[in-house]
Chains A and B, each alone.
Chain A
């Protein structure tokens, strides 16, 4: 157990809908990262937050957004969902921006 908790573990929703994925980092970790894992794109970095502030953006679509709250948990919001958004979404956390990231178990999103 890495100490990073993601909920829900599985999510099935219809095209056009909006969902929120939640991540609780390890105790004491200030940095949160979101990654998407799909068969065709592999593992891709989406976005990073550090102590509530956005630090870096990767290949994140405009339909997607994220935030990190004062208690350091983070949420990834996915809207106007398309079939191609079906993927495994990982959250990772680290103590500081430069330290090793530990991953949660992921949320499997299926868009039908």
Chain B
């Protein structure tokens, strides 16, 4: 079974600075997808970014980028120019190609990010 580990339960960053959230995963599969989801106090799960394992290029979405190291099974999220609205729980998630069409997400425990004005 796949596992996802987020080793930083809490982190903080100054507004306008850069922060990196860590995520490692364990899998024996070669094809899979990785995601970062954000959960603000409103509790909505919001997709931040997605990475396909077969792509060597790291995904980027505006101020959010990832550092995907397939051999090391590492998938960190970098948030640049942090804003107050970035304060939230961040979840790393793994999705396999699944057998017989199952595509469930396996989540890490989350990292609570605080942004200091």
Contacts and interface: CB of A to CB of B under 8 A. Distances in A.
B103 A48 contact: yes
Interface residues of A, number: 26
A2 B44 CA distance: 9
Contacts of B44: 2, 103, 105-106
A56 B46 CA distance: 23
B104 A43 contact: no
B45 A97 contact: no
A19 B97 CA distance: 32
A31 to B, nearest CB: 7
Contacts of A31: 103
Interface in A38-78: 42-45, 48, 50, 55-56, 58
Contacts of A105: 42-44
Contacts of A42: 107-110
B61 to A, nearest CB: 12
Given A55-B103, A103-B44, 7 more contacts: A35-B105, A42-B107, A42-B110, A98-B97, A100-B47, A106-B43, A106-B44
